Amino acid sequence: MLKRLVNEARFSLIIETKGPLLIQSGHATLTGPNMTPVLTYRLGGSQVYIPGSSLKGVFRSHLEKVMRTLRPDDVIVADPFKRADEPDQSCGAWFMQRKQAGEQLDNATIYADSDPVSRLFGSTSFIGRISIGDGYLFDPEQARYLRGKQLPTELRDGVGIDRLTGGQSHGALFNLSAVTSSTVFRTDVLIRNFECWQLGAILLVVQDMQDELIRLGSGTSRGLGAVVGAVEQLDIHHIGPTPSREDREIWGLGHFIGESSPYGTYADDSLKLDMAPSEARRGIRQVLSFTAKETQESLEHLIERAIEEFIRRIDVYPVYKHRGEVPL
């Protein structure tokens, strides 16, 4: 499916901490705090950052919850921790079981039979549609941090709680270093060969992040990890020679493949917009640009339409546990 490129969605995501944020480094320290944030060497010094893998995990987990909420009576999303003999087993386990039974599986079958989350983020059987880069410090006012002279972190004390008395547990004092509030990060998100509902799924997570409904990192139950997110700029690329496309229309993967798709996509996979974005031609790419500063209304309209498309497609998505049987 990725041997050709037919469309791409690229956008910059700005993430601002609304409280302390701790994504642990995983390295023990001989002196200093018991828990420290991840660091990278960049622009001449150490710098805190948000790993793209952490963001991708949060995006995936949040979408799994949303899809299960939209379809509470159906098993629509696979459980990556279920065994191969259970009905909502992971996609990777199910496909491996089918291969061991002698079934020949091509990429089209694997994509068509995957649950919606695996279609977007991938599984052990195929690569996903989306990549999320590391989030680096962005705010120009924090230039002193970028030069490595000072890290935007603060030291916080903690204490373990005795489960019987509800008071302090003796000898359970600890401290941690966390990224301070009002620290701004910027990351880039890329979705390749996307279906329109997949774009809506990602933008739904961004919308919930904008509404401060998503927390990142460790200690979220203790008040850490509050963030707010917003799209800075979003570009939709239609790539290569394409049939004539109506103005204010975005084509998803299914529209390019057409009828009788072996991938289980939809021939009417498109978004019709009421507001026209700015449009330009860059080589073989036709680019529709939605910029928060210049075309805020058209960007908000795109987000609204894409989320509506996501809800519409998930509402009719096939139930995962009834997707065929393993041949004997």
C-alpha 270/C-alpha 227 separation (Å) is 32
C-alpha 4/C-alpha 74 separation (Å) is 34
Q: Is the pTM of this model over 0.95?
A: no
Q: What does DSSP say about strands 39-42 and 45-50: parallel, antiparallel, or unpaired? A: antiparallel
DSSP 319: P
- Of 192, 187, 228, the C-alpha closest to 210 is 228
DSSP string computed for 295-310: -HHHHHHHHHHHHHHH
- Of 253, 300, 298, the C-alpha closest to 4 is 253
Q: In this predicted structure, what is the pLDDT of residue 327? A: 38
C-alpha 35/C-alpha 28 separation (Å) is 8
Show Cβ contacts of residue 323 under 8 Å, excluding neighbours closer than 6 positions: 113
**What averages of pLDDT result for each successive group of 10 residues across the chain (328 residues)?**
84 93 70 70 82 94 95 84 67 83 88 91 88 86 57 72 58 73 93 96 96 90 88 88 68 89 90 84 86 76 94 90 44
Q: In this predicted structure, what is the pLDDT of residue 176? A: 78
C-alpha 290/C-alpha 285 separation (Å) is 16
Contact (CB, 8 A) for 185 and 135: yes
The tokens of 326 are what? 């393993």
Q: What does the angle CA 233 – CA 234 – CA 239 come to, to the nearest 5 degrees? A: 140
Q: Which residues pair with 227 in a beta bridge?
A: 17
Q: In this predicted structure, what is the pLDDT of residue 328? A: 33
Q: Which segments within the chain are labelled E, that is strand?
A: 7-17, 39-42, 45-50, 122-123, 126-127, 130-132, 135-137, 153-161, 168-179, 184-192, 227-239, 249-251, 270-272, 278-282, 285-291
DSSP 205: H
Domain range annotation of the chain: 7-318
- pLDDT tens-digit readout, 89-135: 788 888 888 888 888 888 888 898 899 999 999 888 888 899 999 99
